[in-house]
Amino acid sequence: MWRSLAKELCLLCSVTAKYSLIDEKNESQDSSPSPIHDIQPSSRFSRVGHGAWEVLERITFDDGLDGFRKTPSELRRIFEEKGADAVFVFQLRNPIHNGHALLMRDTREKLLKKYRNPMLLLHPLGGWTKNDDVPLSVRMRQHEAVIAEGVLDPSWTVLSIFPSPMLYAGPTEVQWHAR
């Protein structure tokens, strides 16, 4: 049994863990423990844990954005309360520009032909990004303004941070985030 007293981790667990690093180009697999910083964007990292996990408390960042960090259960409840019969997701690491907004509105219009109340989950990446990327706090203020000004309708848009880092791995990363 291992207990972390660090607020950052907030887990009580009894786990046997196996780390895998799979090189997508060579399709080789190394099952030895691999720290995350060794992972290149062309590789896929997976962690398999067996055993009981207990979350002791919610992880917070105290950066003024914790209210935007929704769990899957919280998001599911929000969409149920709003009567969503379809949810489409737009994930991005940059501020929204007109092309993004047009794509999201057009997607909803197309979904309205088949569904009664399709809703958008605007899911900006909230983990590590490159130093020259727009900071998360700035992006979130811009996303809020886009919604408040009606560029994206607040009645069918939910803004929630996706806590993943951006590893800049292209289509491979998109598939990883969709898991």
Check: pTM over 0.75? Answer yes or no: no
Whole-angstrom distance, CA of residue 49 vs CA of residue 18: 7
| 74 and 132 housed in the same domain | yes
**How many C-beta neighbours within 10 Å does residue 73 have?**
8
Q: At 88, is the secondary structure helix, strand, or coil?
A: strand
User: Does the structure show a pLDDT above 60 at 125?
Assistant: yes
Q: Which residues span the domain enclosing 22? A: 2-58
pLDDT tens digit sequence for 65-117 = 999 999 999 999 999 999 999 999 999 888 999 999 999 999 999 999 999 99
| 157 and 71 housed in the same domain | yes
51 versus 163: which is more confidently predicted? Answer: 163
Roughly how many angstroms between the first and final C-alpha of the chain, as a whole number?
Answer: 29
Instruction: Determine contact, residues 172/24, Cβ cutoff 8 Å.
Output: yes
Could you tell me the CATH number of the domain that includes residue 86?
Answer: 3.40.50.620
| 24 and 86 housed in the same domain | no
| 164 and 111 housed in the same domain | yes
In a domain? residue 35: yes
User: Does the structure show a pLDDT above 70 at 44?
Assistant: no
| 152 and 91 housed in the same domain | yes
